[in-house]
Amino acid sequence: MSSSVLRIDLGAIARNTRLLKENLGSARLVCVVKADAYNHGAERVVPVMDDAGADAFGVATFSEANQVRALTEKPVLAWLWEPGEDIPVGVELGVPGLEHLEWLIEHDVQVPLHIVVDTGMNRSGIDEEDWGTAFALARNAGLNVVGVMSHLACADEPDHPHNAEQRAAFIRAVDQAKKAGLDITQSHLANSPGSITSTGVVFDQVRAGISLYGLHPVAQRHESSSLIRAASLTPAMTWAARLTAVKRIKEGEGASYGLTWTAPADGWTAVVPVGYADGLHRSWQGALDITIGGVRYPQVGRVCMDQIIVWLGGNEEHVAVGDEAVIFGQGGMSAAELAERAGTIHYEVVCAPHGRVRREYGETGDVDKRKGETR
């Protein structure tokens, strides 16, 4: 069994879900659990969010939708698909293009639909010059359109002028859909950063993602404008492993491939059995501090397929084989700090661990045994 483990705090996920739900007022909370709940494990996470106040769930693909539908009675929305795919029973659809809409009409698909409009992200979605055509096609075909949806490009930068432009465009789309005769009641634009930084982009519901897992979706420099502070969210993931070696090294000796690092003095190194095959990216080398016994030590040398090396200095703390090393999470550097130092985003950091890494689940809060909820 691998000594590398992802510890997932379901209590943290329950608390974050309740906090976000309370912050939304009357708007519905769509919990985004794509990519196996951002690598936290949908099978365990979805029931917790369900109990903690989720109104619906969002995923990318139909395979994800099938998994989530088996875990909840609440609506499941999928938005990344192509015409011709078998549509899962009981799943709501985002309609990202005219081709998709025409295919649904041709095959008389009667499921709740959310028409995706492009308001300036320029990714998927129906362009503004085609909104009228799309809404008229849907109305004339008698499709069950329940909402209009779009996505913010710069919500993690609250002062970016593009946010206001997208909000204005989205309002135009909603108004146009209603004037076309569509009875829409579930329109949504805001993602995690949008819902946390501005009430102006919260419409009938929001699609919350990264914040559910305890990571704040805006940079620290923008946090003063947030409705929810980073300290209010509880990160749910910790990645740790047990040391497989502690070795002496002499001043000037190199370690790991290429000997790109040399010991600055006589001392000790330790080996953590995690590498790029487990999702610890080679590009993270030099950005990692590994925490052992509450003390942070620098990762040194090249990241290998299965291992990394840590510089212990004189090993005054008597680090030994079998001691736990925290890569990120509780008791160590945060996913956000690692992301900033590695030049990436914390979304990628929590999605990275895979392969031989096993998950363990726990709850750090008080548990209501009658409902199975963490309080």
Query: Which residues are known catalytic residues?
Result: 34, 257
Q: Which two tokens stand for residue 18?
A: 């309740």
Name the residue with tokens 């970016």.
Answer: 160
Q: What are phi and psi of 361, to 5 degrees?
A: -115, 145
CA atoms of 32 and 52, how far apart (whole Å): 14
Q: Which two tokens stand for residue 161?
A: 């002028």
> Do 147 and 187 contact (CB within 8 A), yes or no?
yes
Nearest CA to 293 among 324, 329, 337, 267? 324
Amino acid letter for position 352: A
CA atoms of 164 and 122, how far apart (whole Å): 16
Strands of the chain, DSSP E = 5-9, 28-32, 56-59, 76-78, 92-95, 113-116, 145-149, 205-208, 237-242, 245-249, 254-255, 261-262, 267-272, 289-292, 295-300, 308-313, 324-328, 358-362, 367-368, 373-374
Q: Taking the CA atoms of 361, 367, 373 and 374 in sequence, report the sign of the dihedral they define.
A: negative
Residue 22's CB is within 10 A of a number of other CB atoms, namely 11
CA atoms of 170 and 160, how far apart (whole Å): 16
